A and B are shown apart, each in its own frame.
Chain A
Amino acid sequence: MIEYKNIHKEYQGVSVINNINFKINNGEFVVLIGPSGCGKTTTLKMLNRLIKIDSGEIYIDNKNIMEVDIENLRRNIGYVIQQIGLFPNMTIEENICVVPKLLKWDKDKCNNRVHELLSMVSMPYEQYAKKYPKELSGGQQQRIGVLRAIAAKPPIILMDEPFGALDPITRDILQDEVKDLQKKLNLTVIFVTHDMDEAIKLADTIIFMDKGDILQIASPEEMLRAPANEIISEFMGKRGNFLDAENMACSDLMRTPVFTIKDDKKTLECIEIMKKRQIDSLIVVDKAGIFQGVVTIESIRSKGKAGEKINSLISKDFPTVLQDDVGKTAFDLLMDKKYDYVIVLTRDNSVVGIITKSSLAKALASVVWGEM
């Protein structure tokens, strides 16, 4: 177990970490996230003492890390950095074996370990072991970076934005690989990122930091459902509005912008517009944009006369919802009645959007499968 107790850090009198406390269980995948300058990397690097702690203590399995020999401490904590940092003067094999060699493993043991690790990431030994880092692609290099970190079987791995410089497809593959390795080897991973998608995908627990404070410690689901404050929900972006089906408002389901006509239009003009847009009804507003009702093609045909204004044809009997209404209201209206859409209004009755079956389906799909 890792425990941060009252950790504080200043740079030139400016406090960058403000007395933070948290615990990490063995085998837990913890992601530190937050806007840049929030102190997440500083927090990470304190654990292997690359950054000095000003006050407070960190314990690993109840042992204060300041009391452990610094080199031994680091040899027992895997470390992966964004710039990869494979040593260019060493082959892939030598790079992987850096820590085992420091720990004085014998040659056979090192050799076996390299075989085992390379096969874990499907990079055949014969093909890659004797290559140099620059002969590999960025994704392959960072795979080796991860292998170097786990080579000596440390129980804890630190990763500082390890996939930040990779293309999205490679990043996705490596995320899966790291998550698999972590589960298989029961590793405790502390992972720094500023990418919420990455955090949600990988984390058991997300620690959200801002300006040196921890704002929330929660599972991804929990954080998405109930972000502790504005900063977090803003950081998670639109995702927060969409993922919670119960709290979904009508404004989350609607389609915008919406086409409306003024109430002084004449019948033939309306028919033209409907023909052109291939719709059978129009939403009517007055000069101030206040919702008046709906004209349908049937009502114009049966009661309207050519050249007449549409005022008298407007039907007020059409389902509307307020934009803050619970989404289910709109859903029920659409399902129960024969209307093709529901009109969404603001509190002062201006039209902001419409909810159709397809906009509803799209919004619900985003809840089930993520952002569409």
Chain B
Amino acid sequence: MQYFFSTYGQMLLKAVFTHFYYVLISVSIGFCIALLLGILLSRIPKYSKIIIPIISIFQTIPGIVFIGILFIYIGMVPTTVIIALSIYAIFPILKNTYVGICEVPEPYKEAARGCGMSQFQILTRVELPIALPTIISGLRMSTVYTVSWAVLAAMIGLGGLGEFIYRGVGTNNNILIIAGAIPAAIMAICLGLLIDYVQKLVTPRGLREENSK
């Protein structure tokens, strides 16, 4: 153990940092795009019923294939990883944003229109706040997934905790595999808890109970 940390300690710390960096950037980008797209799609529910299943097909393309293809075109730069991870992060958030907004009960929207709110005011004052708990649980799902997908970065030699796993697999060294897997798992759990906490903070008291049901 002592030996492990003295040999790999520095490297592990760096890998955790890189991994975290990929997750943070990708999820942030994915979140912004997904939120925007989700809102846009919720304005055109008729078409969204067709568009969303099509997007979800992309979700089924294996990450390795996707990173591989991007690698050919963009090369061995972090951008490749970030683009791939962002795209994968989009879908859960997009779907929850869309569903969350569409499921805002009609009476609230009618009351908002009746009060004389504009479309944009209805979105920002009524629809998004009511959909927020759903959107954030999409964000949570995305984040946890992205932590595991970021392992693939090492496939094209771009570091992260995946490096330990790949090296471990390659050299038949179980300790290395575990040294990559455990921090990734801890990272996923911690980020999940953090987002749960944020969700509690931003959900108004009036919506809390419904959320826990």
- A71:B118 contact, CB within 8 angstroms: yes
From B21-29, B105-113, B140-148, give the one contacting chain A. Answer: B105-113
- Chain B contacts of A56 at CB under 8 A? none
Least Cβ distance of A52 to chain B in Å?
13
Taken together as a complex, chains A and B put the C-alpha atoms of A133 and B108 apart, in Å, by 12
- B111:A90 contact, CB within 8 angstroms: no
Assess whether A87 is interfacial by the CB under 8 Å rule.
Answer: yes
Most chain A Cβ neighbours within 10 Å, of B108, B111, B117, B129: B111
- A85:B113 contact, CB within 8 angstroms: no
Contact with A along B125-138 (1 / 0, CB 8 A): 11001100000000
- Chain A contacts of B117 at CB under 8 A? 71, 98, 102
Taken together as a complex, chains A and B put the C-alpha atoms of A71 and B204 apart, in Å, by 27
Assess whether B189 is interfacial by the CB under 8 Å rule.
Answer: no
- B207:A88 contact, CB within 8 angstroms: yes
Identify the closest chain A residue to B105 (Cβ).
Answer: A83
Taken together as a complex, chains A and B put the C-alpha atoms of A111 and B138 apart, in Å, by 37
- Chain B contacts of A158 at CB under 8 A? 114
Taken together as a complex, chains A and B put the C-alpha atoms of A75 and B114 apart, in Å, by 8
- A91:B206 contact, CB within 8 angstroms: yes
Consensus secondary structure, chain B interface: helix
- Chain A contacts of B205 at CB under 8 A? 132
Cβ 8 A contact of A102, one of B105, B121, B126, B129: B121
Taken together as a complex, chains A and B put the C-alpha atoms of A293 and B26 apart, in Å, by 101
Least Cβ distance of A75 to chain B in Å?
4
- Chain A contacts of B118 at CB under 8 A? 71
Identify the closest chain B residue to A132 (Cβ).
Answer: B206
Identify the closest chain A residue to B132 (Cβ).
Answer: A89
Assess whether B116 is interfacial by the CB under 8 Å rule.
Answer: yes
- A99:B115 contact, CB within 8 angstroms: yes
- B209:A102 contact, CB within 8 angstroms: no
Interface residues of A in 85-142 (CB under 8 A from B): 85-91, 98-99, 102, 132-135
Contact with B along A57-75 (1 / 0, CB 8 A): 0000000000000011111
Q: Given contacts A81-B110, A133-B206, is CB(A98)–CB(B130) below 8 Å?
A: no
Taken together as a complex, chains A and B put the C-alpha atoms of A76 and B206 apart, in Å, by 28
Assess whether A202 is interfacial by the CB under 8 Å rule.
Answer: no
Cβ 8 A contact of A90, one of B116, B121, B206: B206
Cβ 8 A contact of B114, one of A81, A89, A132, A135: A81
- B111:A85 contact, CB within 8 angstroms: yes
How many residue pairs between the two chains, A and B, have CB atoms under 8 Å in the bound complex?
73
Identify the closest chain B residue to A76 (Cβ).
Answer: B116
- Chain B contacts of A87 at CB under 8 A? 108, 111-112, 125-126, 129-130
- A85:B206 contact, CB within 8 angstroms: no
- Chain A contacts of B115 at CB under 8 A? 74-75, 79, 98-99, 102, 148
- A72:B116 contact, CB within 8 angstroms: yes
Taken together as a complex, chains A and B put the C-alpha atoms of A77 and B115 apart, in Å, by 8
Interface residues of A in 28-79 (CB under 8 A from B): 48, 50, 71-77, 79
Q: Given contacts A81-B107, A85-B108, is CB(A74)–CB(B113) below 8 Å?
A: yes
Least Cβ distance of B164 to chain A in Å?
44
Interface residues of B in 173-205 (CB under 8 A from A): 204-205
Cβ 8 A contact of A132, one of B108, B129, B204: B204
- Chain B contacts of A72 at CB under 8 A? 116
- A99:B116 contact, CB within 8 angstroms: yes
Interface residues of A in 170-217 (CB under 8 A from B): none
- Chain B contacts of A132 at CB under 8 A? 204-206
Q: Given contacts A50-B113, A74-B114, A148-B115, is CB(A89)–CB(B206) below 8 Å?
A: yes
- Chain A contacts of B207 at CB under 8 A? 88-89
Least Cβ distance of A68 to chain B in Å?
11
Assess whether A322 is interfacial by the CB under 8 Å rule.
Answer: no
- Chain B contacts of A133 at CB under 8 A? 206
- Chain A contacts of B105 at CB under 8 A? 83
Residues of A within 8 A of B (CB): 48, 50, 71-77, 79, 81, 83-91, 98-99, 102, 132-135, 148, 158
Closest 6 CB pairs of A and B: A132-B206, A85-B111, A79-B114, A74-B116, A75-B116, A83-B107
CB-defined A-B contacts under 8 Å, sample of 23: A73-B116, A74-B114, A74-B115, A75-B116, A81-B107, A81-B111, A83-B105, A85-B111, A87-B108, A87-B130, A88-B204, A88-B206, A88-B207, A89-B207, A90-B206, A98-B115, A98-B125, A102-B115, A102-B116, A133-B206, A134-B206, A135-B206, A158-B114
**7 new A-B contacts at CB < 8 Å, known A87-B129, A99-B116:** A48-B114, A71-B118, A79-B114, A87-B126, A91-B206, A102-B117, A134-B210
